[in-house]
Each structure stands twice: as structure tokens, then as C-alpha cells.
Structure 1
């Protein structure tokens, strides 16, 4: 785990492995019945491996997440609680900035999610390459990221594992949010006490074992991610969780002396990383913030929409309007 004020923001990741013998044995059937042909292993997790593959008559390039659902005591909670939620949620979501699900395949002891392939890799790898992101690129990326989360919000879905590794990029570097393994639907007033996510990204209420509701925990994680994009390091040193929580609760966020991020971007990060969940801004308020309000939403390769001139903006209802007061979200 790379710490505060380091230019490397990566976490320890497992090296890609081969497909399991059982998956390999079933590969000819998958190719024949589902027209899914595995190519290269992209990565692996606790209970799954992700492979690049081709799918369908047109041999569309896809990512195939192969999940081992063989029952063990270690995996029991995942198989009975988390996986059913993930299956339900990925079927619901249809948005340009969310990894699209093409098909869900079941075969003995395994489930495969056939999803959109993201040729641009993930945000973690991009940040390791570029160290810091210029503000124009950061605004474009962050605006798309928030759009994806607003789509989740429309279904009362909380992701609970937002981090750079789960923000994928297509060949044009459009955001594609993925990995909904810890996601769940939290209806208004409903609470959860489950610890989810990576320690460096999760909200202080989760670290403290408190119950939470709404999407304030996801909002916190967006602040951590924005900090990483603009600064190139983590905002908090998680080697000592107790001290990290103390700094979070004291609202102490340091920016390196050499940081070139604008005053407006720093102000937004500070507003998002509020220790008291009800004080964090809504997604709408984030979009209306001083830093992000001039960034239109669009998908590349479309061109950046031209903003209306000041005179046009005051005379046409379609022009940018004065931002409303920041609305707070309540847990």
C-alpha cells in the first residue's frame, strides 16, 4: 500500500493467473453454446479471474469475469449475500459510464459475467503512468464518474468499493465504473453496518464500525479519488488506522507544497471529505461546485460542447444557470 505524499497510488494487487482447470475443461462448451472464447487473463481476485475474450457472432471483444461459486466456509457469506446482490444490480444498470453487462452464464460451480471490455485499462494504471492529471482532464473524468454514481443513486444503489482500480477507461478514456461485488440497494432510511471497501478509500464511519445509510460513504470515496487524480498520492496515511481516523475526524487534509491543484479543486475536496456524513455534498451539488460547474457532460470522441457566451447565457433557458446553494445529503 503506497502512502500519503507518495506519487504511487497503487495497492498490492494479485498477479494474473491462468484459468482454473475446471474452466479450461468447460471452455469448448462455452465457445460452442455461448460463443465465448477466452484469450488472455487480465487479473484475479479472491474468488474470480477476469479474462479478455471474444463473444457472439461478431466476435466482440469483452471482459469475462469467471466467479468460482464452490461452497466453502470462507466464501459462504460472499455466495449467499454479496453475489446475489451483484447479479441483481448489474442487470439493472444501463449507463454510458458503467461497464455494460452483455450476458450472465452459469456452468458447474461457476458464474461468468460477460461485460464490456475497457481497452484503456483502469484509473490506477493511468495514474501510475502520469502521476498527476491536469485539471481539464480531471474535470472531464470526474464529471463522468459522478454521472455514473447519479445513475446508481436513481436505483438507491451504494457501490461501497469505489477506488481507482474499479474505474475503468475505454479506448477514448471515457469512464466505465465496474466491480459491483460489494454493492447493495439501500432504500431511504435503511441502514447497513457492513465493512466494505479498501481502507484507504472508505469513509470514517465505516472504519469506526458505525451504521450508515444513503450514499454518503460513496461520496467520501469520490473525494479520495479526486485527491489522487490531482495530487498523485493518497490523502491519508493508512499504515496507522487509529491516527488516520483521528486526522479524518479533525478534517485535516494536507496538500503537498509542490501541488499545483487550483484553489477551487482543493475547496471541493475539503467539502467532500467532511467527517460528518450529513455535511457531505450531494452529487448534484458537486456538479454545481465552483470547480466543476463549467464542465459539460459528454462522451468522447464527441467534441467538447461549446459553452454559451455570457450574453447568451442570460437570455436563453438552455444556457448555464447560476448554481443553487449546495444541498447536503442526510444519512
Structure 2
């Protein structure tokens, strides 16, 4: 008898499908007690590679990570979890109205520097708070960030690849290959915080330029940035520092928060600013000169 599943079915009602992928399935749902809207994630046990004992219970690392970051405003909040016979069910808050940053950028085409800065600072601060909680996300990208359409506040989601933060090297890569740092591609190891700064640099580039800075392993290893001319010098400098091929040359998050591009306060742009879509035209123009 699956007592955990029975307990879940007594407490929650499953609604429409929201997302389905290799990781599992996410449904909209209701908590029966107060009719609170929730997101319900079903993960088959065979898809879970990392289990850990947390507060006396054997749970996936994802559940442990979510519990540890649960008080961080910039992280999605876990409400409940159930370890069933065939799967693990994770119940989380369902903010509304939200859109993931991937779709948000696609709709906007690119973000101006003012808005990109606002978003980037939030993710930097959330990353630092995760460090304090002893967790590193390892897959910060636009698809794993929710944008509140009213307040512009962000929520970091999908902690499948998260693990405990440590000072030693990591020898397994968990995340999106296109966001992998060059040291992992070349050497098969990386330092967590320095790799995270690389990932944050990729995110900033995507927000500003609407495309990935690198698409192949060879491009990642070389880290040759083709930056759009419309970006300010301070912005270009920060991107180059975060996406340095040498890990030791990348700034810490604390350093990034002190960078001139982050600390400068500019008035929001008025009118419709010209938009590069998505830096490809700049590249083509340069090639024709």
C-alpha cells in the first residue's frame, strides 16, 4: 500500500498539465485545505540519481536543496513532498502572474541594460543567499527563472542539479551543456563558485543579446566574445570578466556587485530604444565592412 500517495491524494487535487520533460511532469493543482494554487511536480524514481538523508528521511537532493533555500525570497518555495513507491511528488508555490525568463526575453527580443541590470542584481543576490544556505544551483539560465509580470521580481526554480556548496573541485557536471565553463570541457573539473560566475555571465549575455554567447564546445573553450556595439563599455567589461576563459580571472559575486555597471544608476529609457535582434545583425554588418 502506497501510504504516501494516499496522503498526497487526501491533501491535494491535481489539475491541468503545465510542463512535461525528461525530468518528470509538472501539474497545476490545489491544496484542498485552503484551495491554494500550487505546482505539483512528479519525478519518477528512476530519474533521480542523487539521494540524501535529510532530517532523518531519505529524499532526493532536489528536495533537500529546496528545503534549505526555502526562506530565500528569490527561490521558489517548497510546500510539501511525498516519497511514493514509484515517484517523488514535490509541491511548490505557484506565483502568478509569471512567465519564465526565456519566454520573457523572446517576447521582448532583448532587454535594455537598465532592466537587465535590475534582473541580474536579483539573481546575484539570490545566488549569494544560496551560498549562505550551503547550496549551489549549478543550472542558472533563463528557463529556470520566473519573472513576476507585475513587480519584476524573480524566482529561481528547478533545483534538480543543485548540490551542497564546497571549496573543493567538482568532478561531475550537472547542468546545461551550453552553459558549461571551459575548464569543465577541457579538464573535467571545476570550482563551484567560479563556474557559477561563468553561468551568470552567459545569462547576462542572453538577456542583453537575445542569443547564447557560445554554442559549441570549441567556442566555449576559446571564449571569444563577439559583443554587440550598442552595449556600454562598462557592460562589455563586466561580460568579458565573467566570461574569462581562466577561472581565476573571473570576479566573485561580491566583486560583481561592486562593478561600475552594477553600481551606476541610470534613468529608465524613454520611448522605443533601437533593438538589436539578437546581435546577429551587428555581426553581419561587421562582416560586410
Superposition TM-score, scaled by structure 1 size: 0.71
Is this contact kept in 1: 2:222–2:245, CA < 8 A? no
Partner of 2:225: 253
CA distance in 1, matches of 2:5, 2:192: 41
Is this contact kept in 2: 1:65–1:112, CA < 8 A? yes
Match of 2:234 among 239, 261, 264: 264
User: Where does the alignment leave 5 or more consecutive residues of structure 1 unmatched?
Assistant: 1-22, 297-303, 305-331
Is this contact kept in 1: 2:186–2:221, CA < 8 A? no
Is this contact kept in 1: 2:50–2:61, CA < 8 A? no
Superposition TM-score, scaled by structure 2 size: 0.81
Partner of 2:219: 244
Instruction: Name the SS for the 1:274 alignment partner.
Output: coil
The 5-angstrom pairing of residues 1-331 of structure 1 reads: 30-31=8-9, 33-34=10-11, 36-69=12-45, 71=46, 75=47, 78=49, 80=51, 84-93=60-69, 94-119=71-96, 120-172=98-150, 173-188=152-167, 190-238=168-216, 241=217, 243-248=218-223, 252-257=224-229, 260-294=230-264
User: Where does the alignment leave 5 or more consecutive residues of structure 2 unmatched?
Assistant: 53-58, 269-289
Query: Given the superposition, is the C-alpha separation of residues 136 and 47 from structure 1 closer, same or farther in structure 2, using an over 3 Å criterion?
Result: closer
Which structure shows the higher strand fraction? 2
Partner of 1:6: none
Task: Give the C-alpha shift of residue 79 in structure 1.
Answer: 5.1
Is this contact kept in 2: 1:118–1:171, CA < 8 A? no
Higher deviation after alignment, 54-63 or 276-285: 54-63
Instruction: Name the SS for the 1:219 alignment partner.
Output: helix
CA distance in 1, matches of 2:188, 2:109: 34
Q: Per-residue CA shift, 1:236-255, capped at 9, x if unaligned?
A: 132xx2x213422xxx2002
Is this contact kept in 2: 1:27–1:37, CA < 8 A? no
Task: Give the C-alpha shift of residue 56 in structure 1.
Answer: 4.6
CA distance in 1, matches of 2:181, 2:175: 9
Task: Give the C-alpha shift of residue 28 in structure 1.
Answer: 7.9
Partner of 2:271: none
User: RMSD of aligned C-alpha atoms?
Assistant: 2.5
CA distance in 2, matches of 1:85, 1:39: 26
Is this contact kept in 1: 2:18–2:28, CA < 8 A? yes
How many residues are paired up?
Answer: 257
Partner of 1:11: none
CA distance in 1, matches of 2:262, 2:220: 28
Instruction: Name the SS for the 1:42 alignment partner.
Output: strand
Which structure shows the higher helix fraction? 2
